[in-house]
């Protein structure tokens, strides 16, 4: 697991309450000091908000402790009136077998409860993995790239939560001999556009944004027609075929 995926999993665990002790404290420290991790936590809170709102409160059932008692062979207290009466006397108070049995029963109940909790935690972590897989299968941001002159959409850019970004042509884009399509992104005008993809044909393309900040709202993407091999100056030189800004995916 790469560092980005590990941080994403930790952020998901924190939001779902699967961290405790030092892990939880470490996550809270990172939220206060690590902007990228804090954004990941915020993104998971937003993703799970709708799910949280649709979930009904489910208080523990009245039969829970009865099941634990049955599994440990200890009757509920209400079923032991004689035991309550005997507790007021001296005989049961000094009966080592009673306390030893009660102690063993309590230990078994605690162990069973621990097994239940471990099982629930394991299930929750499986749920977290499923949620991460679901989140990563849907784009977080989408940019529809449009031709300024014709107003026709030529391609879309999908940005996913795990950092993957792809360009999908919506129509064939003609590439003359000796020319190439170059994809650019602009998130900071002070830095300028950065090349994130190069192709000699109209096809689905995995874009390279690994060395750049995470995709954000209104980030510009565009496709230009450049000399074969790409722009010689590291900036767009040819005509802009399609461009569009990233928007939050629905």
Contacts of 98-105 spanning 24+ positions with Cβ under 8 A: 105/72, 105/73, 105/74
pLDDT the model gives residue 43 = 77
12: helix, coil or strand?
helix
Cα separation of 16 and 37, whole Å?
A: 15
Range 225-242 average pLDDT: 93
- What CATH number labels 141-248? 2.60.40
Range 103-117 average pLDDT: 56
Please state the domain extents for the chain: 3-54, 64-137, 141-248
- pLDDT-derived band at 86, boundaries 50, 70, 90: very low
Other CB atoms within 10 A of residue 171 CB: 12
**pLDDT of 146 over the 80 cut:** yes
Whether residue 84 contacts residue 77, with contact meaning beta carbons closer than 8 Å, is answered with yes
Residue 96, burial from CB neighbour count under 10 angstroms (0-12, 13-18, 19+): exposed
Q: Which residue has the higher pLDDT, 33 or 115?
A: 33
pLDDT the model gives residue 92 = 47
Distances (CA, A) of 154 to 144, 224, 240: 8, 12, 12
Buried b (16+ CB within 10 A) or exposed e, 103-128: eeeeeebeeeeeeeeeeeeeeeeeeb
Say how many residues make up the chain: 250
pLDDT the model gives residue 128 = 59
pLDDT the model gives residue 196 = 94
In the chain, the percentage of residues whose pLDDT exceeds 70 is: 61
Whether the model clears a pTM of 0.95, i.e. scores above it, the answer is no
**pLDDT of 234 over the 50 cut:** yes
Instruction: Read off the pLDDT of residues 148-197 as tens digits, 9 standing for 90 and up.
Output: 999 899 999 999 877 889 999 988 888 999 999 999 999 888 889 999 99
pLDDT the model gives residue 93 = 46
């Amino acid at each position: 697991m790469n560092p980005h995926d590990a941080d994403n999993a930790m952020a998901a665990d924190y939001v779902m309450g699967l961290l405790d002790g030092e892990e939880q404290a470490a996550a809270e420290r990172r939220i206060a000091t690590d902007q990228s991790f804090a954004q990941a936590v915020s993104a998971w809170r937003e993703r799970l908000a709708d799910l949280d709102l649709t979930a009904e409160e489910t208080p523990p059932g009245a039969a829970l402790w009865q099941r634990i008692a049955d599994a440990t062979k200890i009757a509920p207290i209400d079923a032991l009136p004689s035991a309550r009466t005997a507790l007021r006397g001296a005989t049961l108070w000094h009966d080592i077998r009673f306390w030893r049995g009660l102690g063993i029963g309590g230990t078994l109940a605690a162990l069973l409860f621990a097994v239940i909790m471990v099982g629930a935690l394991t299930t929750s972590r499986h749920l977290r993995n499923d949620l991460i897989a679901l989140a990563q299968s849907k784009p977080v941001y989408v940019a529809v790239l449009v031709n300024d002159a014709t107003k026709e959409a030529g391609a879309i850019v999908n940005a996913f939560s795990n950092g993957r970004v792809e360009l999908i042509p919506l129509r064939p884009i003609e590439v003359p001999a000796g020319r190439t399509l170059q994809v650019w992104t602009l998130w900071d005008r002070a830095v300028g556009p950065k090349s994130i993809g190069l192709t000699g044909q109209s096809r689905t393309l995995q874009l390279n944004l690994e060395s750049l900040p995470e995709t954000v709202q209104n980030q510009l993407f565009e496709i230009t027609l450049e000399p074969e091999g790409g722009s010689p100056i590291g900036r767009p030189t040819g005509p802009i075929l399609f461009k569009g800004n990233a928007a939050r995916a629905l």
